[in-house]
């Protein structure tokens, strides 16, 4: 082999190898970019009879449903009773889903994101720095879905964070409330094209729903998704101690809304998810799964997220 | 007198009586169509930002001008309006409100000091459990609820709308009366030149009659929160400001009204500078709000007044730089 031929052939072979390697790298990169991690954060089960406030079990069912769904490229992780004051364990999450009691429900930490409410106004420096990092993480794209009593945070510094993420808060002391009973849930007609409502039809079920949120008027970033109402005829009450039954009701109200921050980050606030058995209600389940997928910046399938998971309880 | 003559007299009497009764019946609806509505203007003390007459937080003088404007309104039909002015009201009973169609209140916040600043709410008891009022005060506030439900409109202006940091019962009453409330860490009061635009979807609301976009200087208490999807609230104005003492302010809703059954409530967080009353669109907006709050039909084109005295303060001599688009915006250009 002449010297020139050898150099030319070697160069060609080198280029081919480099291109092949680059192609492989691009493929691997693309594949990993398509995989999104969703982290489920369950608070401790700190109250309620079996079958209610089953934070961990509810979230494990939701994670399983996503693992077995028509949305590919999702990995899931469930963390129980999280208490850290740094963001290292969630910094690679495309979305976090939080189901717990409120930060003000106990002197111990019950909310996976916020410590006990303390003085109700602020926290120590370390915690404030943690909240700042948490907010930056969300602003950079991490979606957040908050469910049931986790919608309620009582420390005003935590409320400010929620305000950034959701454009609204639950104010337990003078407005918001959590009626329990048989609810009629109806997707908001004017927003039925929102991806979260794909495939979701009205449903009726038993739940305790934290709602009557306070939001910003005329906020273009918020989309109200579900109206809920408890009618007297569906909630006749029980006779106790010889007293006649007292029907309960709750006025028609927004019980779930989505928020897309100016940065593009997404949040969903929904105060339902009390009874574990509700996972058996297909429209409710689909609404929850769509919400999680949307918050993670994943396209919600045309007919909504459909799961083949068998064990929903 | 013969029998026939007696009969004639009786007939004549009956006819006269019927005629009189008829004319009375005819005239009665005329009286009924002109009800009297009494509007109270309640000013809290001028308790900050220089002395009275210096042009800001002129709670008393602002309301006196507004009262004068309502007294001098020329196009409000079908109602006889009476106005009353009360300065530094400190009652905790409703005896003075019983004939009232609306109360219009300008003052500092209930949380601003431990002395009474708010004509409706006593100071927050700092030492009480959860800073709550005593039973008598709570009863008084519930009586105001009842008055509002029966048709007494309530309107608060400027800092009087800010209840953040108050106790739960104050917050609850704000929500009940106005469907919106101030909250800590969010509600603010930027001061600068505001570009104010009526909300298109609300253009048929009576308060927006005759109100065009306007730009003016104000410190506006804003960023209140509301219930999503509340059918009783109507958002009226959007406001934005390129430059304020709190940075640039993106477009946001700065004025809403609440109507539930007979109850009407209005919070308007502007009305810092006395000179704002010289802006015709601003003045019309506030006068329309007052009239609407009192349950009076706002005239087509908005309330028109021939009031001569629109300023009770000396004009400011401090230099002031208006935004470059001030004239253009006020002439209707974007």
- The answer to whether A274 and A207 are in contact (CB under 8 A) is yes
Give pLDDT, residue A28: 46
Give pLDDT, residue A106: 87
Pairwise CA distance, residues A294 & A199, whole Å: 14
pLDDT band, residue A189 (cuts 50/70/90):
very high
Which SS3 state, helix, strand or coil, does residue A183 take? strand
pLDDT band, residue B271 (cuts 50/70/90):
very high
Q: Which percentage of chain B shows pLDDT scores above 70?
A: 90
Q: Does B28 reside within a domain?
A: no
Which SS3 state, helix, strand or coil, does residue B209 take? coil
pLDDT band, residue B190 (cuts 50/70/90):
very high
Q: Does A17 reside within a domain?
A: no
CA B14 to chain centre: 52
Range of the domain at A159: 35-295
Chain A nearest-CA residue for B169 = A174
Q: Which of B237, B247, B236, B190 is nearest to B217 (CA)?
A: B190
Residues from chain B contacting residue A188 (CB–CB below 8 Å) = 229
Q: Does B108 reside within a domain?
A: yes
Among all chains, which residue has been given the structure tokens 């009226």? B236
Pairwise CA distance, residues A297 & A307, whole Å: 19
pLDDT band, residue B315 (cuts 50/70/90):
confident
Residues from chain A contacting residue B171 (CB–CB below 8 Å) = 171, 173-175
Burial of A143 (0-12, 13-18, 19+ CB in 10 A): buried
Q: Does B65 reside within a domain?
A: yes
Rounded mean pLDDT, B221-241: 97
* A166, containing H or E segment: helix A156-166
Average pLDDT, chain A: 90
Judge whether residue A39 has pLDDT over 70: yes
Judge whether residue A153 has pLDDT over 60: yes
Q: Which are the contacts of B262, defined by CB distance < 8 A and separation ≥ 6? A: B149, B150, B151, B295
Give pLDDT, residue B23: 52
Q: Do A175 and B238 touch (CB under 8 A)?
A: no
Q: Does A3 reside within a domain?
A: no
Q: Do B253 and A171 touch (CB under 8 A)?
A: no
Q: Does B96 reside within a domain?
A: yes
Q: Does B69 reside within a domain?
A: yes
DSSP B211: P
Pairwise CA distance, residues A242 & B80, whole Å: 56
Q: Does A249 reside within a domain?
A: yes
Q: Does A69 reside within a domain?
A: yes
For B60, the token pair is 């008393």
Q: Does A12 reside within a domain?
A: no
ipTM for the assembly: 0.84
Q: pTM surpassing 0.80?
A: yes
Domain count, chain A: 1
Q: Which are the contacts of A170, defined by CB distance < 8 A and separation ≥ 6? A: A151, A152, A153, A176, A210, A211, A212, A213, A214, A269, A271
Q: Which of A53, A58, A24, A23 is nearest to A40 (CA)?
A: A58
Chain A nearest-CA residue for B224 = A216
Using the Cβ of B228 and the Cβ atoms of chain A, whether some distance falls under 8 Å is answered with: yes
Q: Does B143 reside within a domain?
A: yes
- The answer to whether A256 and A225 are in contact (CB under 8 A) is yes
Average pLDDT, chain B: 91
Pairwise CA distance, residues A26 & A32, whole Å: 10
Q: Which are the contacts of B92, defined by CB distance < 8 A and separation ≥ 6? A: B122, B136, B137, B140
Rounded mean pLDDT, A241-264: 92
For A30, the token pair is 């693309």
Pairwise CA distance, residues A159 & A167, whole Å: 10
Using the Cβ of B229 and the Cβ atoms of chain A, whether some distance falls under 8 Å is answered with: yes
Q: Does B211 reside within a domain?
A: yes
Judge whether residue B95 has pLDDT over 90: yes
The helix, strand and coil proportions of chain A, stated in percent and rounded to the nearest 5, come to: 35, 25, 40
Q: Kindly report the CATH number assigned to the domain that includes residue A214.
A: 3.40.50.880
Sign of the Cα torsion A79, A85, A91, A97 reads positive
Among all chains, which residue has been given the structure tokens 């609230």? B233
Q: Do B227 and A253 touch (CB under 8 A)?
A: yes
pLDDT band, residue B9 (cuts 50/70/90):
low
Judge whether residue A96 has pLDDT over 90: yes
Domain count, chain B: 1
Give pLDDT, residue A161: 96
Rounded mean pLDDT, A147-173: 94
Q: Does A134 reside within a domain?
A: yes
Q: Does A26 reside within a domain?
A: no
Give pLDDT, residue A31: 46
Pairwise CA distance, residues B270 & B191, whole Å: 10
DSSP B56: B
Q: Kindly report the CATH number assigned to the domain that includes residue B284.
A: 3.40.50.880
Q: Which percentage of chain A shows pLDDT scores above 70?
A: 89
Distances (CA, A) of A129 to A87, A144, A266: 11, 19, 22
Range of the domain at B114: 34-330
Judge whether residue A2 has pLDDT over 90: no
pLDDT band, residue A8 (cuts 50/70/90):
low
Residues from chain A contacting residue B185 (CB–CB below 8 Å) = 156-157, 159-160, 163
Q: Do B252 and A156 touch (CB under 8 A)?
A: no
Q: Which of A279, A287, A280, A292 is nearest to A304 (CA)?
A: A287
Give pLDDT, residue A27: 46
DSSP string, B98-166: TT-SEEEEE---TTS-SS---SSSPPP-TTSGGGPPPHHHHHHHHHHHHHHHTT-EEEEEGGGG--TTS
CA distance B134 to chain A (A): 17
Of B185, B186, B229, the CB nearest to A224: B229
Judge whether residue B31 has pLDDT over 60: no
Q: Does A309 reside within a domain?
A: no
Rounded mean pLDDT, A51-62: 97
Q: Does B171 reside within a domain?
A: yes
The helix, strand and coil proportions of chain B, stated in percent and rounded to the nearest 5, come to: 35, 25, 45
Burial of B162 (0-12, 13-18, 19+ CB in 10 A): buried
Question: Any bridge partners for residue A258, and if so which?
Answer: A223, A268
How many CB atoms are closer than 10 A to CB A180? Answer: 16
Q: Which of residues 125-184 of B touch A (CB under 8 A)?
A: 168-169, 171-172, 175, 180-181, 183-184
pLDDT band, residue A245 (cuts 50/70/90):
confident
Chain A nearest-CA residue for B170 = A174
Which SS3 state, helix, strand or coil, does residue B228 take? coil
């Amino acid at each position: 082999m002449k010297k020139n031929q050898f150099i030319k052939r070697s160069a060609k072979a080198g280029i081919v190898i480099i291109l092949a390697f680059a192609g492989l790298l691009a493929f691997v990169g693309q594949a990993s970019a398509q995989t999104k991690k969703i982290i489920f954060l369950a608070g401790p089960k700190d109250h309620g009879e079996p079958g209610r406030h089953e934070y961990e079990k509810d979230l494990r069912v939701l994670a399983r449903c996503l693992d077995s769904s028509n949305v590919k490229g999702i990995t899931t992780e469930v963390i129980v009773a999280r208490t850290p004051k740094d963001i290292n364990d969630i910094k690679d999450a495309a979305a976090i889903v939080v189901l717990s009691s409120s930060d003000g429900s106990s002197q111990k930490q019950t909310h996976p994101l916020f410590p006990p409410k303390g003085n109700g106004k602020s926290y120590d420096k370390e915690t404030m720095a943690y909240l700042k990092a948490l907010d930056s993480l969300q602003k950079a794209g991490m979606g957040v879905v908050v469910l049931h009593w986790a919608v309620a945070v009582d420390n005003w510094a935590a409320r400010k964070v929620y305000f950034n993420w959701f454009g609204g808060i639950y104010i337990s002391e003078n407005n918001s409330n959590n009626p329990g009973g048989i609810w009629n849930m109806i997707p908001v007609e004017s927003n039925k094209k929102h991806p979260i409502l794909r495939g979701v039809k009205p449903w009726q079920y038993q739940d305790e729903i934290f709602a009557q949120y306070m939001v910003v008027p005329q906020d273009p970033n918020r989309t109200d998704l579900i109206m809920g109402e408890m009618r007297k005829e569906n909630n006749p009450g029980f006779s106790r101690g010889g007293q006649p039954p007292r029907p309960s009701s709750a006025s028609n109200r927004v019980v779930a809304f989505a928020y897309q921050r100016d940065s593009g980050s997404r949040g969903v606030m929904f105060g339902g998810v009390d009874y574990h058995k509700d996972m058996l209600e297909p429209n409710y389940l689909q609404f929850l799964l769509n919400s999680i997928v949307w918050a993670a910046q994943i396209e919600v399938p045309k007919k909504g997220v459909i799961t083949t998971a068998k064990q929903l309880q | 007198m013969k029998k026939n003559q007696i009969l004639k007299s009786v007939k004549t009497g009956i006819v006269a009586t019927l005629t009189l009764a008829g004319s009375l019946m005819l005239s009665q609806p005329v009286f009924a169509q002109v009800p009297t509505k009494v509007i109270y203007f309640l000013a809290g003390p001028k308790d900050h930002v220089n002395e009275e007459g210096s042009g800001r937080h002129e709670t008393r003088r602002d309301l006196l001008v507004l009262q004068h404007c309502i007294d001098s309104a020329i196009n409000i039909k079908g109602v006889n309006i009476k106005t009353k002015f009360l300065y530094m009201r400190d009652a905790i009973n409703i005896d003075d409100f019983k004939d009232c169609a609306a109360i219009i209140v300008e003052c500092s916040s209930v949380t601003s000091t431990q002395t009474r600043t708010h004509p409706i709410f006593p100071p927050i008891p700092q030492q009480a459990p959860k800073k709550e009022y005593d039973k008598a005060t709570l009863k008084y506030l519930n009586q105001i609820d009842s008055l509002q439900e029966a048709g007494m409109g309530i309107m608060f202006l400027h800092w009087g709308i800010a209840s953040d940091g108050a106790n739960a019962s104050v917050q609850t009453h704000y929500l009940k009366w106005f469907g919106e409330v101030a909250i800590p860490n969010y509600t603010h009061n930027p001061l600068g030149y505001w570009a104010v635009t009526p909300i298109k979807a609300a253009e048929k609301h009576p308060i927006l009659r005759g109100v065009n976009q306007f730009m003016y200087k104000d410190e506006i208490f804003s960023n209140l929160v509301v219930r999503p999807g509340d059918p009783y609230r109507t958002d009226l104005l959007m406001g934005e400001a390129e430059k304020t003492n709190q940075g640039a302010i993106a477009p946001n809703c700065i004025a809403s009204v609440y109507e539930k059954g007979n109850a009407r409530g209005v919070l308007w967080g502007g009305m810092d500078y006395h000179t704002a009353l010289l802006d015709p669109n601003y003045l019309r907006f506030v006068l329309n709000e007052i009239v609407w709050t009192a349950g009076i039909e706002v005239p087509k084109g908005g309330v028109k007044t021939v009031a001569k005295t629109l300023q009770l303060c000396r004009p400011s001599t401090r230099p002031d730089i208006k935004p470059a688009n001030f004239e253009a915006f006020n002439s209707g250009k974007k």
